[in-house]
Amino acid sequence: MNTTSFEEKYSQAKTWLKSKKLHAAILEDPSDLFYWTGIHLSLGTLLITKRDVKLFVDARYIEACLKKAPMKAALIAKMKLPKGAIGFDSTTTSCERLSTLKKLSKGDVKWKPCPNMGKQRRLIKQNSEIKKIKQACDLACSAMSYVKSLLKVGVSEKEVAQKIELFYLQHEARLSFDPIVAFGANSAMPHYTPGKATLKKGDIALIDMGCKIEGFCSDMTRVFFCDKPPEEILNAYNAVKKALEDAMQLCKPEALISSLDQAAKSAILEKDFSCYQHALGHGVGVEVHELPFVSGKKGLGHLEAGMVITLEPGIYIPGLGGIRLENQVLITPSGHKNLTPFELY
């Protein structure tokens, strides 16, 4: 991991500790461990204090961490917790694990739950992280072009899904999530699992996929038509396209996050369609779903430069099909940049 990158993260963490009146913080979620160390660890404890950052792992990882981690590393058996208030991520730390930590602290520690503590630290992306996210988005666009060439009458959903994974492996990447490949009426199910259904003339083909490069994710969705679809589906497509465009126009620093959802839903309701029931979007980074959450809920805050989000409005008509279009967007100091500019229909 780049040393400057680590120092910047640690500087921000110390400021955060001070603002929360904490003496230290513990992170143990694998995504947080990767974010701080650049090493894929299934188990470990990162202890962040006002004086330093220490990583504690078991014997499986100690040699790699001593060589590669940007902070001091030691065996987890040697971990000693400082006295005072220690923050932990209550969204990822189990009750059982907290009980173990309390025993290790021997009553000298006041444990303070800090929901989404790890994700909050990853909210604003550094330039080095944005570069990797962009690479993942560029490859996702190339993969989408490849998928478009596969969409011939008779091909199955499962076959396309398998070829998506193989495409990424051949380009030294891996899936950021299991791809959604849905043909015809199956596309009306937002979280569909590809099956044996084959593409037929007049079908919708909904493709939702992404990849991970050097630990950072992409996520995009496009819809293709196998010959001319029903008029209602074309109208739905145009409504979703406008919803996506209207939401993207609002993407800039200080924009109220809930306003993006309002704009997208207004565009759909104007065309007399029922709105999507899922969130409009989400943050993307070392996880394909992270902060900020993008929906119509109040209190979600404002967009800030350095955030990377998706926008994915949809219309779903049971028995007929669904339309969802998704772009991954970087919030810049002056507005936004679409990281997935693959053509829309």
Q: CA-to-CA distance for 281 and 284, rounded, in angstroms?
A: 10
Q: Are 112 and 86 in contact (CB under 8 A)?
A: yes
What confidence score (pLDDT) does residue 104 get?
Answer: 84
Find, among 43, 49, 57, the residue nearest to 14 by Cα.
Answer: 49
Asked which of 22-26, 28-32, 102-106, 107-111 is least confident by mean pLDDT, the reply is 102-106
Contact between 96 and 31 (Cβ < 8 Å): no
* Over residues 123-145, mean pLDDT: 97
Mean pLDDT within 299-314: 97
Local structure of 7: helix, strand or coil: helix
**Residue 317 above 60 pLDDT?**
yes
Amino acid identity of 330?
L
The residues with which 109 forms a beta bridge, in sequence order, are 84
The torsion angles phi and psi of 182, rounded to 5 degrees, stand at: -130, 125
- pLDDT band for 116, please (50, 70, 90 cuts): very high
Q: What's the pLDDT score for residue 3?
A: 59
In the chain, the percentage of residues whose pLDDT exceeds 70 is 99
Predicted pLDDT of residue 247: 98
Residue 4's pLDDT is 63
pLDDT reported for residue 263: 98
Phi, psi of 231 (to 5 degrees): -60, -35
Identify the pLDDT of residue 173.
98
Single out the residue of 78, 25, 76 nearest to residue 50, CA to CA.
25
- Alpha carbons 38 and 185: distance in angstroms, whole number: 42
Q: Which domains does the chain have, with CATH numbers?
A: 3-121 (3.40.350.10), 127-338 (3.90.230.10)
Three-class secondary structure of residue 48 per DSSP: strand
The mean pLDDT of the chain is 95
Cα 301 to Cα 101, 257, 263, 289, 292, distances in angstroms? 33, 6, 16, 17, 9
**Which long-range contacts does 52-56 make (Cβ < 8 Å, 24+ apart)?**
53/10, 53/13, 54/79
Say if residue 108's pLDDT is above 90: no
pLDDT tens per residue, range 34-57: 999 999 999 999 999 999 999 999
pLDDT tens digits, residue range 202-261? Answer: 999 999 999 999 999 999 999 999 998 899 999 999 999 999 999 999 999 999 999 999
Peptide bond into 292 cis (omega under 30): yes
pLDDT of 2 over the 70 cut = no
pLDDT of residue 106: 73
The DSSP output letter for 156 is: B
Rounded to a whole number, what is the distance in angstroms from the first to the last CA of the chain? 40
Q: Which residue has the tokens 């730390």?
A: 93
Work out the average pLDDT over 179-201: 97
| Angle between the N-to-C axes of helices 30-37 and 3-19, in degrees from 0 to 180, rounded to the nearest 10 | 120
